[in-house]
Amino acid sequence: MEEMEPSAPNKETNTWALILHLSVLSGLVVPMAGLIVPVVIFILKKDQIPGLIPHGHVVFNWLISVVIYAIISFILLFVGIGALLLAVLAILSLVFPIIGAVKASEGQVWPYPLSIKFFK
């Protein structure tokens, strides 16, 4: 059977969703960019590409969750477990956006595990 090529709107949605997920990693290059760049991309593209909205919600849920988890981890540094939690959080902050981007390129919305659902 011949494989069908995804339609242009779906391909565009998948591409921008992939970029949105990976934009979280821009904070590795420029401090705070991982928080600002996804918001800018979402604001600029959400009206043109409605399929981007669920991906934006997933990314924003994760970003807010990471801030909350980081604050809790910093507080727990005083009892010794905070350093381990921060290390785990750092690894998850690298892995989850990459997995989300791969899934987005396939047309799937992948809710990051452990993220608190602020947006649905």
- Residue 12 lies inside a defined structural domain of this protein: yes
Model pLDDT for residues 76-118, shown as the tens digit of each residue: 998 889 999 999 999 999 999 999 999 999 999 999 999 999 9
Number of domains in the chain: 1
- Residue 116 lies inside a defined structural domain of this protein: no
Provide the token pair at 115: 């993220």
The yes-or-no verdict on residue 3 having pLDDT over 60 is: no
- Residue 19 lies inside a defined structural domain of this protein: yes
User: Is the entire prediction scored with pTM above 0.75?
Assistant: yes
Closest by alpha carbon to 93, among 10, 15, 26?
Answer: 26
Say how far apart CA 6 and CA 74 lie, in whole Å.
45
Say how far apart CA 21 and CA 76 lie, in whole Å.
29
Q: What is the domain range of residue 27?
A: 8-105
The yes-or-no verdict on residue 1 having pLDDT over 70 is: no
Q: What pLDDT shows up at residue 120?
A: 83
Q: What pLDDT shows up at residue 88?
A: 96
- Residue 118 lies inside a defined structural domain of this protein: no
Model pLDDT for residues 53-64, shown as the tens digit of each residue: 999 999 999 999
* Average pLDDT across the chain, whole number: 90
Mean pLDDT of 6-11: 66
